[in-house]
Structure 1
Amino acid sequence: MEASPLPSFSRFTVRIRPLAVLSVAALSAVLLAGCASSGSGADPSPSAADVDLCGAVAAPGEASDAVTVDGDVGAPATVTFESPLDVTAIQSTVVTEGEGDPVVAGDLVSYALSAFNGDTGAELGSFGYADSPVLPQQISPESPLGQILGCATPGTRVVATFPATEGGTSEVYVVDLLRVVPNAAWGEPEEPVAGMPTVELADDGAPTVTLPDGDMPTEFSKATLKKGDGPVVAEGDGVLVQYHGVSWNSGEVFDESWGGQPFSFTAGSGVVQGFTDAVVGETVGSQVIAVLPPSVAYGEGDINDNDLTGQTLVFVIDILGVQAAAATQ
């Protein structure tokens, strides 16, 4: 599927750094930048996923084994160790074993993290817990999360150590694997709205849109197809979605995230206005359908298939996660 050519939509990259106080070069910049996705690429095959992810995890070592962790999984951790900690390589030691099915490559996971200075033991900060959730991430053997957690089970807590980098000290992270997040909206179905396009879902949740007969709409409209039970999306929040876009003019799909990675963006920045309007006020776990006239899409003018100028667009959007605006600074 050819992606939308405009940088204001699917090629817009969002780098979300929930905790500016983390000065870490070792993990936080790489890990948190992983929230951005382009909606391209294919998931690994299930047969290879377990082996690759289990084999990707860093081995435990003297540094990670030397850290004592206190606190419950799902709450900020405290640590004790003899400082300065001698960290020569990335190491990962399991502190608490979770339960359930191990994660596999391609899963969306919710996680939390507490960070500490390896030289002094001082706390650098924490994020991802109940008061400061972050966007779910797709775990893979190549991702920092995959290298820290491997094929862990939900509820697992690990301590990871990272050697000093140029201009920075060694650092210690306590990472909690909270849960696996569905890859499609999980809310309760709502009654269809008369006059709106209809949607059929494949087994994996991917939508197919059927446009109704009649005149093309000239005003923005949206309807909730599934009502989720998560937090409400507000302007400025970071949002993780699956989306499927259809041109009303041509009836063709012009862009979608299905078949690759979910798409993250900041509501109100870097996407067309109608895309933001579609998700603001909706809850995580919801699926919405929105009709965008040119005024809130790619602008009025002569119809142009290359940049979608003048076209009325239909988006089906599954809202998978939200990160409060205050945490994206």
Structure 2
Amino acid sequence: MNRALRRGAPIALATSAALLLAGCAGSAGPEASETPTADAAACMDVPSGDLSDGVKVDGEFSEKPTATFTTPLEADELQRTVAIEGDGDVTESGQKINAVVTTFSGTSGDELFSQPATIVAGDDTLYEAFLAGIDCVPIGSRTVTVAPASSLYGDTGNESIGIVPGETIVIVVDVVEVQQPLKPAEWTENVPEVKWGAEGEAPTVTLPKTDPPADLQLKVLEEGDGATVGDGDSVTVHYQGISWDTGEIFDQSYTRGEPATFTTDGVIQGFSAALVGQKVGTKLIVTIPPEYAYGAEESDQNPLGGQTLVFLIEIQDTAPAGQ
């Protein structure tokens, strides 16, 4: 996964939407802003063309697809074809859209990455090439976008996801649903044991020898009395992330010696849901099934795909983003 992550979110927390941001990975794109511009509220003008029409996509909707096209594919302008037209409402600016984004090298035809992503329609912090995939199409649609290098990473490419300088890429987006507020259930059974370390030491979390919960569950270990975390806030937390499948810690802030700061809309959906509505000073533990983490498919670019994740979190501060 690209280490040029959205607003500084740690690599193990960030959504693949971080890859979609203009300005990431050495791009000459604009600096991130918090709200879409007025112009972004209108539908984009992205016509279909011979290149996008010529991409054949197979696979079940909302799962990782395959794409077949003549290589090397080289485009001079952005093209988008609606391969499957959904029967839901047309997406509107400002909506959070849950999607599955899969990219392919125009040079080799190989898959670059495939992951769930939450994309805000009309968000001008995103590359147009990715935004086009969800723009003004019915929910349930599958789109194919052919994106020239000039609309993405340009002459620098993106080495972290295998895009070479000047390369055209093919982007397949399944527009799954408008994201609804997600609220964790109370975690009452088979809650891991937590032992807090001394000052400066990492805590120890012992997972029970049971199957993981099937849904998103949270237990407040100690309730704080500070400000409440809001949707989109910039939060500062200490955290430890463990895979229920392997029992191993895959990331934590404790060993880095300082807490992490990021926005709640720049991390995986389950982690964000665990934070929003909680108060500063709260300590909690949350179990996140794959659909609210990194999806069902594991790959080289998505090593946590298919895994249930457990996070121990200490909320230390919160503020509206940009402050």
Q: TM-score, normalization: structure 2?
A: 0.49
Higher relative contact order (CA 8 A, sep 6+): 1
Q: TM-score, normalization: structure 1?
A: 0.49
Which of these two proteins has the greater Rg computed from alpha carbons? Answer: 1
